[in-house]
Amino acid sequence: MGATASNTAHENFDAVIIGAGFSGLYTLHRLRDDLGLKVRAFDAAEDVGGTWYWNRYPGARCDIESYWYSYSFDEDLQREWTWKEQFSDQPEILRYLNHVADRFDLRRDIQCNTRVNAAIFDEDIRRWKIETSDGKCVEAQFLISGLGNLSLPQEPNFPGLSDFTGEVYSTSRWPHEPVDFTDKRVAIVGTGASAIQAIPLIAEQAARLTVFQRTANYATPLQNRPIDPEESAAIKAKYPELRRYSRETYAGIPYELEFEIRPSVFADSEEDREQVFEERYAGGSFRLPYGSYLDVLTDLEANKFVSEFVRRKIRERVNDPKVADILTPTSHPYGAKRVPCETNYYETFNRDNVELIDAKKTPIIEATANGLRTQDREFEVDAIIMAIGFDAMSGPLMNIDVRGRGGQTIQDKWRAGPQTYLGFASHGFPNLFIITGPQSPSVWYNMPSAIEDHVDFATDLIAYMREHGLETCDPELDAERKWVVHTKEEADKTIVPAAESYYMGTNIPGKPRCCMVYVGGAPKYRGICADVVAQGYAGFAFKEEGTTDANSKRHTGVDAHQSASR
């Protein structure tokens, strides 16, 4: 923290929120409008929207149905907003988030164009001092991270990139103005969910598109379509009930209303299994991984059936068997990496103007003035698109100079992997609440529901503290250690550790390998959180207002492990 900033009088808030996306907007609404707190949200972007502000690449859209991938907290809001497509595109979702900001009069407490550079917990006054990119410092009792899980792009580290004389784009920092690739030779690096949405549209426009694929992915159809007025009215009529029900499902998407999720691939005949896979594949979105058999994501032997099914689909859709071979994943099981949903992705490789490069076999060595060079060839292009993903989950918070008690930095604390309690708080960082933090369900759950659950948890916790005259809240080290172990145990019951992925932190060179997501399922996680609350916030240590370390009174419930280890 700069000496000047720390010595001057600072504007004081009850809570500061970092980010004005889905998390930040709802946190601001709850803390300000329900608890009456003085709150300020900061966002580095020019406007609200978070993920949906930045990720504007062609084809960007949600891949959980919009009537689930949206806020549920306000009945009037969900009734007045009409989604036009099953899976809304980025401009529509951004319009929705702007509507929410206006409808709840949130903008007056959001400062855009302002990055939070540092947040230091001052133990003398037991408040956070937050330094921002406009050179100011503010103080707050509570610091809420609404930074998101996929907000810190991975830096492209190809040597020579600055020598490239053409245009360089990143899917996660796409320009606001439309980019016209007509008559251009374009290269795209990466074949994750972002590239898989962008590639078919860019291929339609560009003179030539070269796709550099390092790891083949298992993409399955999205099946987007318009929502007709009758369907929309039917959903709206039953919204509260449907939302309640969806939160009781593993990933927050109520597939059980459409079909039975079958217990095991081994319990069905080959013919029945094939029919289940076909129906879920044709149904689109995440019906195949989350809605077919319970054991495809937990048992590697069971998973072989669905992995092979998707491989077969890829081969059927790609004309050239050599190209199909490169596109067919063999290095990991289906669902261990995030499943991308696609529209015409595989058919795009049947076009004459699209070339697929196996960047595992012939890695990109460098960028040149004219394009990209692999081990055996130079590719001359007019534009390079980086679709190489994010320093996910722990990256966004670790990218800020956050210091807790004793000056410990979050970078030090999480050096060997995130250490959190419930994926929501970290010992030694009092009153820092991380919305959908690492080791919470986050991206393994419908994100807006995961966000609402965490924001509600934070709001209730702050209300509880105010009611009981408690000034700080810090997870106990023991509870945190048990949560880290529990998160790993849950991951080990699934196929997630069987792949290198951003779930496991391994997409970033040097990042420790550990599961960053709570994969025990939303109902289990929600049950644990409810128990923690019922037991007087078990696992959290509180200090009463005006107490010092010497005479602090513990205000903890029973051992959280009883809940966490269920």
State the minimum distance, in angstroms, from the CB of residue 117 to ligand N01. Answer: 25
User: Angle at which helices 239-247 and 522-534 pack, to 10 degrees?
Assistant: 90
Q: Does 148 bind ligand N01 (CB under 6 A)?
A: no
Q: Does 215 bind ligand N01 (CB under 6 A)?
A: yes
Nearer to ligand N01, 27 or 224 (CB): 224
Q: Does 310 bind ligand N01 (CB under 6 A)?
A: no
Site for ligand N01 in 100-139 (CB under 6 A): none
Site for ligand N01 in 157-186 (CB under 6 A): 171
State the minimum distance, in angstroms, from the CB of residue 340 to ligand N01. Answer: 7
| Cα distance between residue 382 and residue 460, in whole Å | 53
Q: Does 336 bind ligand N01 (CB under 6 A)?
A: no
Q: Does 393 bind ligand N01 (CB under 6 A)?
A: no
**Reduced to 3 states, what is the DSSP secondary structure of residue 91?**
helix
List 97, 150, 372, 383, residue binding ligand N01 (CB under 6 A): 150
Per-residue contact flags (x/-) with ligand N01 for residues 438 to 457, judged by CB under 6 A: -----x--------------
> Residue 508: exposed, middle, or buried by beta-carbon count in 10 A (0-12, 13-18, 19+)?
middle
State the minimum distance, in angstroms, from the CB of residue 118 to ligand N01. Answer: 27
Q: Does 396 bind ligand N01 (CB under 6 A)?
A: no
Q: Which two structure tokens, joined as six digits, stand for 343?
A: 């529209």
Nearer to ligand N01, 359 or 432 (CB): 359
> Residue 392: exposed, middle, or buried by beta-carbon count in 10 A (0-12, 13-18, 19+)?
buried
| Cα distance between residue 503 and residue 496, in whole Å | 8
List 194, 249, 348, 494, residue binding ligand N01 (CB under 6 A): 194
State the minimum distance, in angstroms, from the CB of residue 416 to ligand N01. Answer: 22
Q: Residue 273: which of 250, 297, 303 has the closest Cα? A: 303
The string of DSSP letters for 254-307 reads -GGGTSPPBS-GGGS-HHHHHHHHHHHHHH-TTHHHHHSBGGGGT-HHHHHHHH
Bridge-partner residues for 118, per DSSP? Answer: 131, 401
| Cα distance between residue 24 and residue 30, in whole Å | 10
Q: Does 265 bind ligand N01 (CB under 6 A)?
A: no
State the minimum distance, in angstroms, from the CB of residue 224 to ligand N01. Answer: 11
Contact 16, 143 (CB under 8 A): yes
Q: Does 197 bind ligand N01 (CB under 6 A)?
A: yes
Nearer to ligand N01, 138 or 451 (CB): 451
List 170, 191, 348, 368, residue binding ligand N01 (CB under 6 A): 191
List 93, 195, 302, 432, residue binding ligand N01 (CB under 6 A): 195
> Residue 300: exposed, middle, or buried by beta-carbon count in 10 A (0-12, 13-18, 19+)?
middle
Q: Does 89 bind ligand N01 (CB under 6 A)?
A: no
Q: Does 210 bind ligand N01 (CB under 6 A)?
A: no
Nearer to ligand N01, 96 or 502 (CB): 502
Q: Which two structure tokens, joined as six digits, stand for 441?
A: 């369900």
State the minimum distance, in angstroms, from the CB of residue 527 to ligand N01. Answer: 25
State the minimum distance, in angstroms, from the CB of residue 450 to ligand N01. Answer: 12
What number of chain residues touch ligand N01 (CB under 6 A)? 25
Classify strands 540-544 and 470-475 as parallel, antiparallel or unpaired. antiparallel
Q: Does 458 bind ligand N01 (CB under 6 A)?
A: no
Nearer to ligand N01, 192 or 418 (CB): 192
Q: Does 62 bind ligand N01 (CB under 6 A)?
A: yes
List 507, 511, 520, 540, residue binding ligand N01 (CB under 6 A): 507
State the minimum distance, in angstroms, from the CB of residue 60 to ligand N01. Answer: 6
Dihedrals φ, ψ of 448, to 5°? -60, -35
Q: Residue 423: which of 511, 529, 494 has the closest Cα? A: 529
Contact 193, 63 (CB under 8 A): yes
Which amino acid belongs to residue 458? Answer: A
State the minimum distance, in angstroms, from the CB of residue 190 to ligand N01. Answer: 3
Which amino acid belongs to residue 182? Answer: T
Q: Residue 219: which of 338, 358, 65, 304 has the closest Cα? A: 338
Nearer to ligand N01, 211 or 276 (CB): 211
Site for ligand N01 in 360-389 (CB under 6 A): 364, 387-389
List 359, 400, 425, 560, residue binding ligand N01 (CB under 6 A): 359
Site for ligand N01 in 270-289 (CB under 6 A): none
Which amino acid belongs to residue 192? Answer: G
Contact 276, 292 (CB under 8 A): yes
Q: What residues line the site for ligand N01 (CB under 6 A)?
A: 62-63, 150, 171, 189-195, 197, 212, 214-215, 338, 359, 364, 387-390, 443, 502, 507
